[in-house]
Structure 1
């Protein structure tokens, strides 16, 4: 794949990650830099679109309309609206209730499942790499997420890049744990609380950090709580 075709495909889908794109990233440093720039721009645009809407905005618009433009609400419409509101609230309740340690919340389940799938998918690509990543490189990849590390990363880092993560994006890092290689994803998707998981022969944890989450995935038997604490000690808001 030539550089022009690579840029065309990344512009049309910044989170694409097929075999041809991965090969083009590995063979051409300019391609990797271009993808990082596009993902960073995508993150800035997404952040800019997150505008809080006042709770009473609908009332303000309604009350500022001329009387002739205001639609009178009938009893039937009120009843249907009430029923829809109840159904909507019930749907939120089912999805958001915290069931403690019985089950993993839907958001966290989605994060851990996505992380496990990505690790399985990209293991063959990253398992033989050793980029000996530096602190400066880590901080460059952390910049779109508004975090920086204040000192040397406490583990040897084999691989570092940005990647598509479900409907979002993430920093993707592979480093040496105490028992084997551990993959770290830092994504802008929030999670409500720290939660461990053990699935498909892999284990790890999802941990909130501000409005973001970092996910650790690797072999069973790793002390992910300890690894998470060691990383959080050096991870600071930019």
Structure 2
């Protein structure tokens, strides 16, 4: 099994026994196996949050009542003890996120914003991730960065609308910026406009032959300049 086949098979299935056996005597490959297995386990764990009995029925009833009255009341689950309210909040957040990641077509900008908010704590990280580590991950998508316009503080694989992608955060003079590298093959989202924003963040989508590059930053950031830097430093192997 050559390096390219190893990476492709590992990326497709972190629990492929042949791939795992192949990496036993190679520390670098074993590190990639461990990382992707951890990520896979985190996804499974998030989906295994215990749902309180009757939760779905109560949500449907509450939605019907809200629509009838056009009043937004205090969330029903906040009426209960804190542990239960916290668990219910987690169930709803995780459920909404993963449904949006696999459901009907969604604008790429909308999904990018949802993803940033879902992992908003990543923006607060300060420990540097070496460019070499970033490129080891990016190589699994067939790419490489010559440089990035700031210190990378977050680098992990993610599910971007059903597509395994690379999620990066780097620190700039204008604050933390999020970059998604989304392989073009298999994209299930739509992008009618290259620019998008909400009250807090603005973003830009660059379409490439092999991947889309999506940059999200605080409102007021010269996002086109940074996007051009990131796209210009991305090479495909």
Q: Structure 1-normalised TM-score?
A: 0.52
2:125 aligned to 120, 129, 136, which one?
A: 129
Q: Which runs of 5+ in 2 are unaligned?
A: 1-13, 16-30, 42-103
What RMSD over aligned residues (CA atoms) do the two structures have, in Å?
3.0
CA distance in 1 between counterparts of 2:183 and 2:162 reads 10
Contact 2:213 2:231 survives alignment (8 Å): no
CA offsets, 1:5-41, max 9 Å, x none?
xxxxx86xxxxxxxxxxxxxxxx99752435799xxx
Give the aligned partner of residue 97 of structure 2.
none
Runs of 4+ aligned residues of structure 1 deviating over 2 Å after TM superposition are 28-38, 127-131, 151-154, 189-194
CA offsets, 1:34-55, max 9 Å, x none?
35799xxxxxxxxxxxxxxxxx
Secondary structure of the residue aligned to 1:231 is helix
Secondary structure of the residue aligned to 1:148 is strand
The answer to whether structure 1 residue 220 and structure 2 residue 225 are counterparts is no
The Cα of 1:210 is off from its aligned counterpart by: 1.3
Q: Which runs of 5+ in 1 are unaligned?
A: 1-9, 12-27, 39-105
1:111 aligned to 91, 105, 108, which one?
A: 108
CA distance in 2 between counterparts of 1:179 and 1:111 reads 23
The answer to whether structure 1 residue 145 and structure 2 residue 141 are counterparts is yes
Secondary structure of the residue aligned to 1:213 is strand
Q: Which has the larger radius of gyration?
A: 1
Give the aligned partner of residue 231 of structure 2.
232
Q: Structure 2-normalised TM-score?
A: 0.52
CA distance in 1 between counterparts of 2:147 and 2:182 reads 21
Total equivalences in the alignment: 143
